[in-house]
Amino acid sequence: MSRPAYLGKMLLHWCDACNVPVLGKQCGCGNRTKKVEVTPPGDIRPAFDYDIRRINSVSDKQFNAPLIPEGHLVVLNKAPYEDRMDEIIVDGEVLASIRFEIENCTWVLLPRLEGARRLFQGRERKELKKWVVIEQEIMPFILKKGASVLAPGVLDADPEIEKEDEVVVLIPSGEVVCCGRARLTGKEMLEEKRGNAVKPRWSAEPEAAKTLEPGRNWDDAVKANEKILDSMIEDAHAFIRNVSGSMDLKVSVSYSGGKDSLAVLQLVDETLDDYELMFADTGLEFPETLENVRKVAEYYGKTLRTASAGDSFWESIGVFGPPTMDTRWCCKICKLGPITRLIDENYEGGCLSFIGQRQYESHARSISKRVWKNPWVGNQVGASPIQEWTALHIWLYLFRTEAPYNPAYEKGYDRMGCWLCPSSSLSDFFQLEESHPELAKKLNSHLQAYAEKMGLSPEWVKYGLWRYKRYPKVLQELADKKEISLLPSQDAPKELQFEVATGYRPCKAGGISADGSFGQAIDIGGTLEESGMLSPAGKVSFIEGAASVAMGESRAQVFASGNVNGRSENEKTLKKLMRMVEFSVRRAVLCQGCGVCVGHCKHSAIEMKGKRAWIRDSCTHCGACIEVCPLVKFM
């Protein structure tokens, strides 16, 4: 599981008197609030009706009872996990988590004690599911020593329980004492004389469920947070005035169709008269986003400047393969390039763009300044008035101003952007099949064709493995369990084309990065490693399915899929490294055994074997042999 990351202050509190979330220690009613302990980074947001229906649907399926009653505000907190996981907060209590489990491709509810009490206490146990009744005498071992529930201590259990199910543990009186995951089936719990029946995740002495008065809505929450919002808005207005007044640049708002950029647009509109809207249509936008952009421009009555990437993504995917979290070539082609051209064509001397960037979104954004110069889009100065806002600040502000937000948020998505972004969770792609089946079909068609071309299985597509070059441990284990190959299997090509995505984008960790692709599989362990052909480009190391080349502080990686990712402190050095890696791979795959390189190696580090050149470990990485190779000079 991913580690929690503190990207900003943990702000979620709750007013028991008003029964609403509050982003501070005092409610608008004057009462002190209590702090709600959620997992960092704590970027809390409202649950829409769709979210609540999904939670209750999963709860009904697992326990035969809904978790969330009508008339209660629900807040969600995205927690670190291999895929998507949200903590569910109602009445100021974290009732449960709901997460998408990759192996089964399904949502699972993980109740905490308060959630389990609401599900089970006051209901007839036989009408519910996934329950285990234990002897009261074994409670001290569970509560004080953290012991598992052993089979001999089980008095009764739902016979439908399967191994790894989430279960609720009760004592004979019907009170909840523990929640956890089953290690035996329900029948085995009753029949076995030994073994762990349940591994507890949460446990405590019995107590009554804590419910507060229902009937609150988001208008009530806005009112409770009014003073807090006023302070944040005032700071944002002052920031916008100061930044725009300090620069002799035309002002624009970069609008994406998402909630953050809409909040920025509303703030700018309240502060300035003279500004324009910019929208980059990547060709991969939700239909709701395109319609929302049109409505927003009309609503605010401002000039809308647009740039479209058209079909650039679909024209490039055959060369580069699917974009991954490590190699998002699509950002260069579909977003950054069009934005640069749009600014060049419409803003002589560049522009100041107010952008919806927040520190709670990622580590890179948490350390970003509020005003920055984009190293890739050199004609744009970016500024963020909402850097310290949580998602709940954003939503309360939008509810308060009645700004026209994107309706796709009400269809189960928590973020807007390209609908096939590899940084999306696997759950989003299953959600896409429900909300936009035509888009899901188009994506899967391309992914299946690529998988077949590279000798990869349909399961490689199903489990979202296409989104990675470096597979997390959990996905490596899943692939092993399901016998899914992660390495392409394809005959060595007779020709080798190499393309680098237009431009070299700034790297999140600092410096510059670039993505390239040969458009077909490369034999890493055989052809590249055995030939030693990468050595002239730099110091080389190999891991399964990838080779790494270091040239000073710069580094490039070649993957078995044929993709190449490079990083350096400056663009000039990076371009040189990418060229040397391209030439070296070309030599390794297509070497004709002419021997020209042997005579040009001053260190006698190259020898001929079977009409092919092989580079020994004594190579000094000077690169001289690369330049003289006919494959480099004439192809």
Q: What is the pLDDT of residues 367-415, one digit of tens each?
A: 778 898 866 566 789 999 999 999 999 999 999 999 999 999 999 998 8
Q: Mean pLDDT lowest for which of 268-272, 489-493, 565-569, 609-613?
A: 489-493
Residue at 466: amino acid letter: W
Mapped to the 3 state alphabet, what secondary structure does 39-57 carry?
Answer: CCCCCEEECCHHHHHHHHH
> What pLDDT does 502 receive?
46
* Contact assessment for residue 358 and residue 368, using Cβ atoms and an 8 Å cutoff: no
- Cα(90)–Cα(55) distance, rounded to whole angstroms? 12
Decide if pLDDT at 40 tops 50.
yes
Question: How confident is the model over 103-147, as pLDDT tens digits?
Answer: 999 999 999 999 999 999 889 998 999 999 999 999 988 888 888
Tally Cβ neighbours within 10 Å of residue 113: 24
Mean pLDDT of the chain: 90
> What pLDDT does 378 receive?
66
- Cα(107)–Cα(101) distance, rounded to whole angstroms? 6
- Cα(471)–Cα(468) distance, rounded to whole angstroms? 6
Decide if pLDDT at 507 tops 80.
no
Element (H, E) at 154: strand 154-157
Element (H, E) at 589: helix 571-590
Element (H, E) at 373: strand 371-373
- Cα(351)–Cα(248) distance, rounded to whole angstroms? 9
* Contact assessment for residue 460 and residue 454, using Cβ atoms and an 8 Å cutoff: no
* Angle subtended at Cα 55 by Cα 50 and Cα 56, rounded to the nearest 5 degrees: 100
Q: Which residues pair with 250 in a beta bridge?
A: 351
Residue at 410: amino acid letter: E
Tokens of 214: 């229902």
Span 11-37, mean pLDDT?
A: 96
Q: Which residue has the tokens 């019907």?
A: 174
* Angle subtended at Cα 40 by Cα 16 and Cα 182, rounded to the nearest 5 degrees: 85
* Contact assessment for residue 144 and residue 132, using Cβ atoms and an 8 Å cutoff: no
Q: Mean pLDDT lowest for which of 15-19, 293-297, 459-463, 499-503?
A: 499-503
- Cα(382)–Cα(14) distance, rounded to whole angstroms? 35
Cα–Cα distances (Å) from 288 to 258, 401, 410, 435, 562, in that order, read 11, 21, 11, 11, 35
Question: How confident is the model over 577-611, as pLDDT tens digits?
Answer: 999 999 999 888 888 776 667 766 888 899 878 77
Q: Which residues pair with 109 in a beta bridge?
A: 98
Span 242-261, mean pLDDT?
A: 96
Question: Left, alpha or beta for 322 (phi > 0: left; psi -120 to 50: alpha)?
Answer: beta
- Cα(155)–Cα(550) distance, rounded to whole angstroms? 62
Residue at 471: amino acid letter: Y
Counting Cα atoms < 13 Å in the Cβ hemisphere of 295 gives 13
Q: What sections of 65-138 are H helices per DSSP?
A: 113-120
Span 602-626, mean pLDDT?
A: 87
Decide if pLDDT at 283 tops 70.
yes
Cα–Cα distances (Å) from 410 to 305, 414, 497, in that order, read 27, 9, 44
- Cα(524)–Cα(170) distance, rounded to whole angstroms? 55
* Contact assessment for residue 121 and residue 176, using Cβ atoms and an 8 Å cutoff: yes
Element (H, E) at 554: strand 554-559
Element (H, E) at 243: helix 226-245
The shares of helix, strand and coil residues in the chain, as percent rounded to the nearest 5, are: 35, 20, 40
The model's confidence at residue 343, banded by pLDDT at 50, 70 and 90, is: confident
Portion of the chain with pLDDT greater than 70, in percent: 93
Q: Which residue has the tokens 């907190």?
A: 77
* Angle subtended at Cα 91 by Cα 89 and Cα 92, rounded to the nearest 5 degrees: 60
Decide if pLDDT at 495 tops 60.
no
Decide if pLDDT at 492 tops 50.
no
> What pLDDT does 491 receive?
54
Residue 138: exposed, middle, or buried by beta-carbon count in 10 A (0-12, 13-18, 19+)? middle
> What pLDDT does 635 receive?
52
Question: Left, alpha or beta for 615 (phi > 0: left; psi -120 to 50: alpha)?
Answer: beta
In b/e form, how buried is each residue of 580-605, taking b as 16+ CB within 10 angstroms? bbbbbbbbbbbbeeeeebeeebeeeb
Q: Which residues pair with 279 in a beta bridge?
A: 306
Span 198-225, mean pLDDT?
A: 94
Question: How confident is the model over 316-339, as pLDDT tens digits?
Answer: 787 678 888 877 778 877 887 778
Q: What is the DSSP letter of 33?
A: P
> What pLDDT does 15 receive?
97
Residue 377: exposed, middle, or buried by beta-carbon count in 10 A (0-12, 13-18, 19+)? buried
Query: Nearest-CA neighbor of 580 among 532, 626, 533, 629?
Result: 626
| Better-predicted residue by pLDDT, 170 or 4 | 170
pTM of the model: 0.82
Phi then psi for 270, rounded to 5 degrees?
A: -75, -15
Q: What sections of 454-516 are H helices per DSSP?
A: 458-462, 473-482
- Cα(480)–Cα(559) distance, rounded to whole angstroms? 19
